[in-house]
Amino acid sequence: MDPIARVDYGYGAVQKLTPMAKALINQAYGKGPDRSYIGGSSNGGRHAMVAAARFADQYDGVLANSPGFNLPLAAAAQLYSAQQFRRVATDETNLETGFTLPERTMVANAILARCDALDGVVDGLVQDLEACRTTFDLDLHVPTCTGARDGTCLTADQKDAVGKMYRGPVNSDGRALYATQPYDPGLATPGWASWKFTSSVGNARDPVAVGIIFQVPPDPGIASSLANSRNFAFNYNFDTDFPKLLLTDATYTENAMSFMTPPNPTKLNTLRDRGAKMIVVQGASDGVFSIDDTRNWYDELMKENAGKADAFARFFIVPGMNHSSGGPATEQYDALASLVDWVENGKAPDRIVATARGAGNAGGVNLAVPPDWAPDRTRPLCPYPSVARYNGSGDSERAENFSCRR
């Protein structure tokens, strides 16, 4: 509710605290830091992308993981998803009844049947997301129920709801208000489901973000009960309510798209010209921030830099990964080490090796790792638009037998 707190949440904290940190380092050690890095995941990834646009003179390296850099739009898109699943839920207080785990597993298997082999090996991963867009079709490749729902099909209404969720929100004129999302088998996991079915209506996540933090004027009553937040999500109007994200008044002099998002996110000239580097990593099955939104940003960044943005910024997609972690994925990786090597040794990352967190993993087990995978499977994460493709020989559980190619 505090307008200054809103701005601090958006960009003010980084603006104020980075100079303080550097001053403390100088006071303690008699010199400033040799190198300065900023990194984070989710909202922290958004902070990193905002810093790259607003405060690039302060950092030598930027690491943005699962970045919600258009967070107000993404949060509103969650309300749109809730409205779609409400239409097909058998219990509107439990949106997962609109798209159950058996149904999601069936869709995931249909995606794999069409797209798994596109990278040269059947291994439970869809590496070539771009080819999958034209290879998999929800209407054609998922059975339509002719009788009762039993987990082996989707009703026509379910297909409509799921398809619209993946397309993203639109207003009554059909104008897209956020980004599309690609089909990926990571949807059959609790990590994906919690964002789509719980956070989208809960009184601690998306309705509160949209209705209190981002819109003008805020409505504090949304957070007072789960029923209120659910009703806000279900009744959110994309013609009349969505524009409130762009409003200001005498109290709130910056709108959400001003204080939350990177200004001119594809104009990173300061970052580029000072020799700083940037790595962005995101899961293909991120349940809240669209990988397509990040892909579109990177495509525009490449255009802005005459196809040479990869000289200072690279984008890595983690197939199967949910928001920041989890999912049927090799999602244990050290992007920070790659960033430091790029900044300090001039070695641009042409791959980042990632490992599955199967049984016995010292960093914790990811329960979504399929039992037929090697528990320590490795894969290269490839700089977009290249894709990890099997070389045709060697153990398909090992990253060294894959190459990053288009």
CATH code: domain of residue 63:
3.40.50
What amino acid positions are annotated as catalytic residues? 42, 286, 323
* Sign of torsion over alpha carbons 137, 192, 83, 255: negative
The predicted pLDDT at position 323 comes to 98
The predicted pLDDT at position 156 comes to 98
Q: Are residues 192 and 225 in the same domain?
A: yes
Q: Are residues 253 and 381 in the same domain?
A: no
Q: Are residues 215 and 301 in the same domain?
A: no
Q: Are residues 116 and 233 in the same domain?
A: yes
Domain hosting residue 156, numbered range: 71-257
Report field, pTM of the whole predicted structure over 0.75: yes
For 319-367, write each residue's pLDDT tens digit: 999 999 999 999 999 999 999 999 999 999 999 999 999 999 999 999 9
Question: Which residues have C-beta within 8 Å of that of residue 27, sequence separation ≥ 6?
Answer: none
Phi, psi dihedrals of residue 404, rounded to the nearest 5°: -90, 105
Helix, strand, coil tally for the chain in percent (to 5): 45, 10, 45
CA–CA separation, 109 and 156 (whole Å): 19
The predicted pLDDT at position 292 comes to 98
The predicted pLDDT at position 334 comes to 98
Q: Are residues 221 and 109 in the same domain?
A: yes
The domain boundary, picked from 257, 290, 310, lies at 257
How many C-beta atoms lie closer than 10 Å to residue 327's C-beta?
A: 28
The domain boundary, picked from 257, 276, 304, lies at 257
The domain boundary, picked from 257, 278, 300, lies at 257
Q: How many domains does the chain have?
A: 3
Q: pLDDT under 50 in the chain at which residues?
A: none
* Alpha helices, DSSP H, located in 209-358: 226-235, 256-259, 269-273, 291-304, 335-345
Q: Are residues 64 and 76 in the same domain?
A: no
Determine whether 249 is exposed, middle or buried from the number of CB atoms within 10 Å of its CB (0-12, 13-18, 19+).
exposed
Q: Are residues 316 and 390 in the same domain?
A: yes
The predicted pLDDT at position 87 comes to 98
The predicted pLDDT at position 342 comes to 98
